[in-house]
Amino acid sequence: MSYTVGSLFAGIGGICYGFKQAGCEILWANEIDKAASKTYSYNFPGHNLVSDDIHNLIKPKDLGQVDIITSGFPCQAFSNAGLKKGFHDPRGNLFLETARFIKATRPKAFLLENVPTLKSHDEGRTFEVIKDVITNQLGYSFKYFVLNSKDYGNIPQTRLRIYIVGFRGESNWEEKYKSKTCTKNFNEPIKIPLTKKIQDFLINGKKDDKYYYQTDHPYYPKLKEKMTSYNTFYHWRRVYLREIKSNLCPTLTANMGTGGHNVPLIKDQDGFRKLTPEECVRFQGFPDDFKFPEEVLNGQRYKQAGNSVVVPVIKRIADEMVRVLDLKYGQP
């Protein structure tokens, strides 16, 4: 059975790709960032993308009824990089906007994605609020779990994220319906072997000069001294250069779009360089035919890649959501 999806805080479409690959139909998406909206529309031509502030979407039902709502609501309010201000940060309250959409449209299920510190933020009080809203105000049951893309997506990037999967009308788990509850039947993804390597995601050939440190750059001597391997990543950490000895890409972040030394470094046959934005989205598991529009600037491309999700992990979750929804709704 095919399910329809509405995607809040859609970004450049990482969650949409995962659900599309699981056989779902993306009915609509919402994204406030204009540059991200351009990238989304470029890769999802014909999709109903509403490029606007979610607060301006007064009547959620006007977008169309869907079976599943997804929301990668901004994580900066709960992340270490964003100072962890939580609900005291306007971005933290965007969870409540997601809840407003769920309450108005009553989808069969939802998926929320955020940083793992969401659970421990404010000594757990933030997550208690979220749990109360989901169960008592919305009437959904849910499961949550933290997954690392290197263990669950066959992607050589260290990227921990919390996923919250909810299902309508099962908050009490009535005994007579227990065999058919999606919540009971939903299985958290199991670990899979990491068979892909860094080199599988790098783009062959010399890159544009802007990605390379030139010999007259003040940091070039340090790079030449420290960057001795072709098979690993390096990362600036304030005043020193750190080799990532795990042979994994470090967590890609939106801060890559601010310039400086936030982008992971590699050594190739032509010198010492930063990952390109196109390589960054490959390390997020985006398909090879994904493209950035020419008018989207490099800083925005890095930001969009860092803000996105690991597509194969989303697909595994979406596959399981479809499976348990089929058990409940697919056949009489």
Active site residues: 75
Instruction: Please state the three-class secondary structure of the chain as a single string.
Output: CCCEEEEECCCCCHHHHHHHHCCCEEEEEECCCHHHHHHHHHHCCCCCEECCCHHHCCCHHHHCCCCEEEECCCCCCCCCCCCCCHHHCCCCCHHHHHHHHHHHHCCCEEEEEECCHHHHHHHHHHHHHHHHHHHHHCCEEEEEEEEEHHHHCCCCECCEEEEEEEEECCCCCCHHHHHHCHHHHCCCCCCCCCCCCHHHCCCCCCCCHHHECCCCCCCHHHHHHHCCCCCCEEEEECCEEEEECCCCECCCCHHHHHCCCCCCEEEECCEEEECCHHHHHHCCCCCCCCCCCCCCCHHHHHHHHHHCCCHHHHHHHHHHHHHHHHHHHHCC
Count of all residues that appear for the chain in the document: 332
* Whole-Å CA distances, 61 to 94, 100, 103, 172: 18, 11, 10, 26
Beta strands at 49-50 and 233-237: parallel, antiparallel or unpaired: unpaired
Q: How far apart are CA 27 and CA 8, in angstroms?
A: 11
Question: Strand order in 271-274's β-sheet?
Answer: 240-244, 233-237, 265-268, 271-274
